[in-house]
Amino acid sequence: MKVGIIGATGYGGLELIRFLHNHSEVEKIELFTSSEEGAIFSSKFGHLLSIHDTPLQKIDAEALGSFDVVFTSTPSGVTSKLLTPLVGAGPKLIDLSGDYRLKESASYEKWYKKEPAPESIVAESVYGLTEWNEENIKSASLIANPGCYPTAVLLSILPLLKHRLIDPGYLVIDAKSGVSGAGNKPSQITHFSEMNENFSIYKVNEHQHIPEIEQALTMFADVDTSITFNTHLVPMTRGILATSYAPVLSGVTNKQLNDCLIETYKNHPFVRVIQDTSALGTNRVKGSNYCDIFVQLDERTNRATIVSVIDNLVKGAAGQAIQNMNVQNDLPQTLGLDVIPLFI
């Protein structure tokens, strides 16, 4: 396959390159830029010396039309403008931004405060939460890859909601992310001297992933609810840990909660149900496409504590995007992604 990456110089783009380089069905990877046309990639990113010594190319819809797959790993609001000319032009499209995830334009405008993508294109796009939408992904021409937080949260709570084991009315989700989640553009909140030795909350009750999570709960678990969801920045580079709290429904046991997760994911290689909290942390998934999940019933309060961890740049972005490319092209889901987490 011939693959193009728009936004290759960003963190998501670099991770796409890292995994696609080892993908046995990818023969060619070409890199596209909005700002650095002609620059030799490895002179900008020295770790790719003798691996990607090719020049960055100008984004050109006509040239991209001849590719089998095109990934966009560019900012929300910008992406839909770049992708519109490519829709229906030939390549299968996989977008890592938020531009095609929300089905209602008004919701996108409200939460992203940007101009929405054309409605007809959004209607055609398929939400790429791989483990939950495989059949639709197979035939998708445009995949809206999920956000990093929604990936972590949804994989852990969807089975329990779908099987009516927890109460959807009182879902509280507390999520923490490493700084690479904010991309490569420096800002006040990610400035080393203000982020280091600091643990902060941001976008309180107004994170753009709230409507995405709620939409997916309706789509996959037939649950219509409003969640409390808040996000925190942790002074580390990679990883998300999300803890969700929900009352269990009458009579539900700890075993039922765990059995539900184990049964749901028994044939899904990237989701691991963890029984022991000493094996739960962002370093257990770092650099890999795994999502580790854990659930425990607090019998004192009758509430479930549900935890999930991912690497935001892999299962939360580039890894899941390649997993989706594999499904879309009838390849084994693990192709190119079969790596052991970094751990240390």
Ligand X SMILES: NC(=O)C1=CN([C@@H]2O[C@H](COP(=O)(O)OP(=O)(O)OC[C@H]3O[C@@H](n4cnc5c(N)ncnc54)[C@H](OP(=O)(O)O)[C@@H]3O)[C@@H](O)[C@H]2O)C=CC1
Chain residues that interact with ligand X, rule: CB under 6 A: 7, 9-13, 33-36, 73-76, 78, 82, 96-97, 147-148, 180-181, 183-185, 312-313, 316-317
- Residue ranges with strand state E in 45-145: 57-58, 69-72, 92-95, 126-127, 142-144
Contact 165, 249 (CB under 8 A): yes
Q: Does residue 236 bind ligand X2W (CB under 6 A)?
A: no
Selection from ligand X2W, ligand X, none that 141 binds (CB < 5 to 8 A by kind) is none
Hey, what are 278's tokens?
């000493």
The answer to whether 109 touches 115, Cβ cutoff 8 Å, is yes
User: Of ligand X, ligand X2W, none, which one sits near residue 210, judging by CB under 5 to 8 A according to partner kind?
Assistant: none
The interface mask with ligand X2W, positions 76-115, x = CB under 6 A, is x--------------------xx-----------------
Please confirm, yes or no, whether 260 is among the known catalytic residues: no
Nearest distance from residue 145's CB to ligand X, in Å?
A: 7
Residue 12, contacted partner among ligand X2W, ligand X, none, CB below 5-8 A by kind: ligand X
Is 181 a binding residue for ligand X2W by CB under 6 A? The answer is yes
Listed as own residue / partner, the contacts of 250-254 with beta carbons closer than 8 Å and 24 or more positions apart are: 252/165, 252/166, 252/297, 253/297, 254/295, 254/296, 254/297, 254/299
Segment interacting with ligand X2W (CB under 6 A) among 36-44, 49-57, 117-125, 175-183: 175-183
- The catalytically annotated residue of 31, 96, 148, 280 is 148
Amino acid (one-letter) located at 158: L
The encoded tokens of residue 124 equal 């055609």
Among 231, 308, 326, 333, binds ligand X2W (CB under 6 A): 231
Beta bridge partners of 261: none
Helix (H, G, I), strand (E, B) or coil at 5: strand
SS3 340: coil
71/12 Cα distance (integer angstroms):
10
114/162 with CB nearer ligand X2W? 114
Q: Are the CB atoms for 340 and 288 separated by under 8 Å? A: yes
Question: Which of ligand X, ligand X2W, none is residue 67 near (CB under 5 to 8 Å by kind)?
Answer: none
- Kindly provide the residue ranges of all beta strands, DSSP E only, lying in 107-218, ordered along the sequence: 126-127, 142-144, 172-177, 200-202
In the complex, what is the shortest distance from the CB of residue 25 to ligand X, in angstroms, rounded to a whole number?
23
Q: How far is the CB of 19 from ligand X2W (least distance, A)?
A: 18
Q: Which does 208 bind (CB under 5 to 8 A by kind): ligand X2W, ligand X, none?
A: ligand X2W
φ, ψ (nearest 5 deg) of residue 52 = -130, 75
Kindly identify the residues of this chain, within the stretch 129-148, that bind ligand X2W according to CB under 6 A.
147-148
Task: Output the CA angle 88-94-100, nearest 5 degrees.
Answer: 80
Residue 94 or 157 with smaller CB distance to ligand X: 94
Closer to ligand X2W by CB, 264 or 323: give it. Answer: 323
Nearer to ligand X, 260 or 317 (CB): 317
- Nearest residue to ligand X on Cβ basis: 10
Is 182 a binding residue for ligand X2W by CB under 6 A? The answer is yes
Order across the sheet with 200-202: list the strands.
200-202, 228-233, 172-177, 240-247, 303-310, 291-298, 271-273
Q: Which amino acids are annotated catalytic? A: 148
Q: List interacting residues with ligand X2W (CB under 6 A).
A: 76, 97-98, 147-148, 177, 181-182, 208-209, 231, 233
